[in-house]
């Protein structure tokens, strides 16, 4: 077992869950009973979550999920941390487990062809393949695959418009291009390849397990990945071997701090950074300052309690 104390499990599965709302309460109760924290999304199209806890408790949660016959195929990725990656547990019911906003897509039946990380380099090195990073701009800034297209999107829901407009995605002599898509863990590229197939693209691929699986199994000396991979927890970013990177997170916009942000006049711990300063009102900044003060007081109280028990 790893010497770290907290195991993070990330998972998703596109599967029909018409009773997703009825699953919310028992799933939240199970997570809370196991002292697991994180976020799980439920929708008619499936489940998507990232949670953290002790190894035994994470194993118990996965057993609970696999007990539903529809979720038996659910796979997860693991990583470790010395401190809790999440502060609370939430289970939400949404229209989509990853929001694209295009009706009629069924990734469980329409997704493109999986490509294992070991075969990914050969695919994206082909001159006839358009490689597309389906993530948001602030994620791409930290790292991406060599030669990949950056759609410059602020949210996944903007990707369909980019696909419709990008010259590299248009037919050539009536033939659609060969496309390889990737994202952090696989969920966005699985849905985006389903979108392409719905639109008539016939040769569409996506990286199985996403960037995280690639960084886990492909040695750095063989890698075509450049930089770090943004992750949606307290690690902020990871590199090869899924080792935590050097980046910090803005507590307001939940995006990685850009270079020089700590010295910028727009930066205030827990309140704003250069990315989000202009997008929040004075009242919202005051609310963020109060939350930061409460968090700091709670942290001090926790440290005092620990010192009394030692």
Q: What are the catalytic residues?
A: 183
The encoded tokens of residue 86 equal: 């999440």
- Residue 275 makes CB contacts below 8 A (sequence gap 6+) with 138, 250, 253, 255, 258, 261
Cβ pair 43, 99 in contact under 8 A: no
* 251 token code pair: 């507590």
How far apart CA 189 and CA 183 sit, in angstroms, is 6
Q: How far is CA 20 from CA 40, 104, 141, 226, 248, in A?
A: 12, 18, 35, 38, 35
The answer to whether residues 24 and 93 touch, using CB atoms and an 8 Å cutoff, is yes
Cα dihedral 40/32/81/6 (nearest 10): -130
| Alpha-carbon 283 to chain mean position | 30
Q: Which residues pair with 11 in a beta bridge?
A: 49, 76
């Amino acid at each position: 077992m790893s010497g770290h104390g907290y195991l993070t499990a990330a998972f998703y599965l596109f599967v029909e869950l018409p009773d997703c709302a009825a699953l919310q309460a028992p799933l939240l109760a199970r997570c809370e009973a196991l002292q697991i924290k994180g976020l799980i999304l439920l929708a008619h199209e499936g489940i998507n979550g990232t949670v953290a806890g002790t190894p035994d408790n994470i194993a118990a949660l996965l057993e609970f999920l696999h007990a539903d016959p529809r979720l038996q195929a659910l796979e997860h990725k693991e990583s470790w941390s010395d401190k809790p990656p999440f502060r609370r547990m939430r289970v939400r019911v949404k229209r989509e487990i990853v929001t694209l906003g295009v009706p009629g897509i069924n990734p469980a039946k329409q997704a493109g062809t999986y490509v294992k990380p070991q075969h990914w380099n050969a695919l994206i090195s082909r001159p006839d393949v358009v490689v597309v990073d389906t993530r948001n701009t602030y994620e791409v800034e930290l790292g991406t695959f060599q030669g990949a297209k950056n759609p410059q999107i602020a949210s996944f829901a903007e990707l369909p418009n980019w696909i419709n407009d990008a010259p590299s995605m248009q037919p050539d002599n009536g033939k659609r291009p060969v496309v390889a898509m990737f994202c952090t863990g696989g969920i966005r590229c699985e849905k985006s390849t389903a979108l392409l197939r719905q639109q008539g693209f016939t040769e569409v691929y996506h990286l199985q397990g996403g960037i995280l699986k690639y960084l886990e199994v492909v040695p750095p000396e063989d890698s075509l990945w450049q930089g770090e991979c943004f992750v949606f927890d307290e690690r902020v970013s990871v590199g090869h071997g899924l080792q935590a990177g050097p980046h910090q997170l803005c507590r307001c916009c939940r995006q990685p701090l850009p270079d020089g942000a700590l010295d910028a006049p727009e930066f205030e711990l827990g309140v704003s950074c250069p990315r989000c300063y202009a997008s929040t009102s004075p009242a919202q900044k005051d609310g963020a300052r109060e939350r930061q003060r409460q968090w700091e007081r709670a942290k001090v109280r926790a440290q005092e309690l620990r010192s009394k028990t030692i």
